[in-house]
Amino acid sequence: MTAQLQGIGMTSRRTRMRLVQRLREAGIESDRVLDVLGEVPRHIFLDEALSHRAYEDTSLPIGYGQTLSQPYIVARMTELMLAHEPERVLELGTGSGYQTAVLARLFDEIYSVERIKPLQDRARDRLRQLHARNVLLKHADGGMGWPDRGPFDGIIVTAAPVEIPQELLMQLRDGGVLIAPVGEEDQILVEVTRRGDRFDHKELEPVHFVPLLGGVVR
């Protein structure tokens, strides 16, 4: 185990359990999700200078204009997805790899796309440290999804498009669910379920994410 993995988040179970308790009080009900949030060492997904803030319920910068999502929203999106019991899940926006690591402990196959290569490289290293062997990563424009690997039982989008790309919806299997923040300044978390050629939209709660941008960064 690396020195970073042996840091504050691994040794201070009390610190993590305080975060789990805050998430429970905020409305997260799934014990499975809360257990995973208590296990995954969030501090390793941050630069060392910010690791002391890892178990606050807040988003934190990871460079390139991107953020490590607030634990509550990671738990909320994961809980929503878990309710549908998918096996194959596509994540758009690997970012730090934290949400990826959480998903990898709950679902059989994770496919994760990131457009910023240095972030993907760091995420790959962290996921290897955690032995997340059921994760496949791709460097590409996340808005296009990963059609070669579809269809997917579930899709989680970790940055906000103005509207959900149709080509992304078409990568859902029948009965599959997509969870994404949608909008510009006023964003809403949306759950979309595919019913044959119909897509049922359900608006859930206000959120704030970085925008989903096109193109790749090497």
Give catalytic residues, as residue numbers.
69
Closest CA to 139 of 215, 73, 63, 75: 215
Buried b (16+ CB within 10 A) or exposed e, 102-118: bbbbbbebbbbbbbbee
Please state, in angstroms and rounded to a whole number, the distance separating the CA atoms of residues 178 and 90. 9
* Residues 146 and 138: beta-carbon distance below 8 Å: yes
Q: What does the alpha-carbon distance between residue 125 and residue 131 come to, in Å, rounded to a whole number?
A: 10
Distance of alpha carbon 6 from alpha carbon 2, whole angstroms: 6
Residues 195-214 as b/e (b if ≥16 CB within 10 A, e otherwise) read eeeeeeeeeeeebebbebbe
* CB-based contact 80:50 (threshold 8 Å): no
CB distance 153 to 89 below 8 Å: yes
